[in-house]
Amino acid sequence: MNPLPADYVSLPARDKQQLLWNKILESKYVDGEMPSSTWLRFMWDAFTGGLFGKNYLRKTLLHEADELPDRRRRLIHTFGTVCLITFEAVPSVPFSGTLSSGACGLLRVSLTLPARSFTPGFAVKFLIDGRPSQNIVCIPCINGQEEDQNVFLRAGSNRHSKTVHGLDFKFLATMFGRAARSVSPQKLRWNYLPLDHFAATRADGTKETSPVVPHELIFLPTPEAQMSRESNIDFRLRLTDIAPGTVLYHVLATDRPTSRPVLIGHLRTVSEFVTSHYGDDTIYFQHDHGPLSSR
């Protein structure tokens, strides 16, 4: 598949959204082709793909693009499904950037690991006119939700519980924390992703002179998004039942750890969910590191 054009970043957000979507549609899995993972496959890919080294997760923080680096395999959140979304900001949002302007973008839903406990995660990409995208990756419950296969059971956030069960997720927490410390961030922790990038720039590319940054973003699933608890059908296929125009999440935010969340917008689908080679092998959601400490 051809790479994105050399001037991709400078394009309007809607043009970038269409380019990415075209690549997803052109590489849709055919019937019976949709891959899945097992614990044994994950361990083999993790060993051969470099997950045990610091640099693999460090690139997740430093690579600023909408496509994975060349020859980099997606070892976590490996297989998922993607749809187009729009973020509709409510009037008088107390925060700046795309949180007040709204934005177009993409949403990818995946399983974090092939663990016994069903552990869905999702990534959101806001596309910006003439500038790099804004991304966030959420795991609503890092310890999973046992047998409950409702992808929208729990709210997602840039904050995670510090309590982690199981050697697999404890290992990931340790490795991500190690990678985070290597870039010397002010706010980033293994269980907290900073939100400065969302507040810094509006969807039209305008830089905010005095950004107002929230402490936490909360993606609260709507009643319209709910799925049955039990199913023999893969969650990716079940998501194809969600119609374009569905509000999946109410988005809330806080300005400090102890403040009450306020509604700032809604995340609405503008396409169906599609599984594809491009959505699994190439599209990329950066983990923003936030402001860096002086060395």
Query: What's the gap between Cα 147 and its chain centre?
Result: 23
pLDDT, tens digit, for every residue of 73-123?
Answer: 898 899 999 999 999 999 999 999 999 999 999 999 999 888 788 999 999
pLDDT of 271 reads 98
pLDDT of 40 reads 82
User: What is the C-alpha separation between 272 and 241, in angstroms, rounded?
Assistant: 8
Beta bridge partners of 105: 85, 126
Query: What's the gap between Cα 80 and its chain centre?
Result: 11
pTM, 2 dp: 0.94
201 neighbors 128 (Cβ within 8 angstroms):
yes
pLDDT for residue 226 is more than 80:
yes
Domain ranges of the chain: 8-281
pLDDT for residue 42 is more than 90:
no
**Confidence band of 266 (pLDDT split at 50, 70, 90):** very high
**Confidence band of 148 (pLDDT split at 50, 70, 90):** very high
Mean pLDDT of the chain: 92
pLDDT of 26 reads 97
Amino acid at 216: E
Q: What is the CA radius of gyration of the chain?
A: 18
pLDDT, tens digit, for every residue of 241-262?
Answer: 999 999 999 999 999 999 999 9
**Confidence band of 294 (pLDDT split at 50, 70, 90):** low
pLDDT for residue 165 is more than 80:
no
